[in-house]
Amino acid sequence: MIANAKRCVRVFSIFLCIFFFATCNQTPPLPGSDSSTSESALPSIYTYTVINTYLHDPNAFTQGLVFEDGFFYEGTGQYGASTIRKVMPATGEVLTQESIAPNFFGEGIAIFGDRLYQLTWKSGICFVYDKNTFELQVQFTYSTEGWGLTHDGEKLIMSDGTNIIYFRDPNTFREIGRIEVTDSTGPVHYLNELEYIKGQIFANVWQTDRIACIDPKSGRITGWINLAGILPQTDRLHHRVGVLNGIAYDAATDRIFVTGKWWPKLFEIKLVQ
């Protein structure tokens, strides 16, 4: 009896060790994965590893950034200096550029089909261009400020600097839904440039080095990405630089790109929990 009891204890101990090792070595999913989380779950926290560094126009006051068909498309701001542009990633060369009237302050951009959309800050106008020629096709109006813009393949997703995310019809720009973004402390304001990545909305939080990962159904923050220190101090000393702003995603190769206003560099990053 004693021998059998000892064997049972040893078997049970081995089972516990195997279970503990397996559970402790599971890698939690990145924001945007299909794994479900409870409403009460705390946001995941991420830092980064820089995979590649690219040249970026230090005169570009970046408001929106998109990766499409091997190129960056960028929207820049400032009155009298707002543009949309197509950029060669390897060199930072601006291949095509179109300016908007000096009384408009350009904001976030998105590419949906063959159209490129560009918000304006306080004018309540969204310009819509042919993606290939940058020829203006139509313009829509909206009643809020315009900050960030992206899409989920069906509808446009827009921020206005508050904690509200709007969903809009790409054909009419009519609002078809909205969410309020919150974390455990309450509303999360100053949501800026947006990118839709793996089922989540990634949003720069203005004047911070953080990107919020947002559940598009509930508005709940599922993760925070801390990008503090990504732009080297030497670049900050030798260039006029603004805040972190600009997220792009290459779905084909699962690459994330980030930059900032007046930054001389653009970075491909990998998230690290």
Domain coordinates in residue numbering, the chain:
54-272
Give me the pLDDT at residue 5, please.
Answer: 40
Q: Are strands 44-55 and 221-226 parallel, antiparallel or unpaired?
A: parallel
Establish how many alpha carbons lie within 13 A of residue 158's alpha carbon, considering only the half-sphere containing its beta carbon: 29
Indicate the average pLDDT of the chain: 88
Kindly state the tokens that stand for 178.
């909205």
38-65: pLDDT as tens digits: 455 789 999 999 999 999 999 999 999 9
Grouping H, G, I as helix, E, B as strand and the rest as coil, residue 8 is helix
Torsion sign (Cα): 148, 153, 156, 159:
negative
Q: What is the DSSP letter of 26?
A: P
Domain 54-272 in CATH: superfamily? YVTN repeat-like/Quinoprotein amine dehydrogenase (2.130.10.10)
Which residue is associated with the tokens 């091997």? 70
Give me the pLDDT at residue 224, please.
Answer: 97
The contacts of residue 110 (CB under 8 Å, 6+ apart) are 64, 66, 116, 117, 149, 150, 151, 156, 157
Ranges under pLDDT 50 in the chain? 1-29, 32-38
Query: For the CA atoms of 104, 110, 115, 121, what is the dihedral angle to 10 degrees?
Result: -20
Q: What is the DSSP letter of 144?
A: S
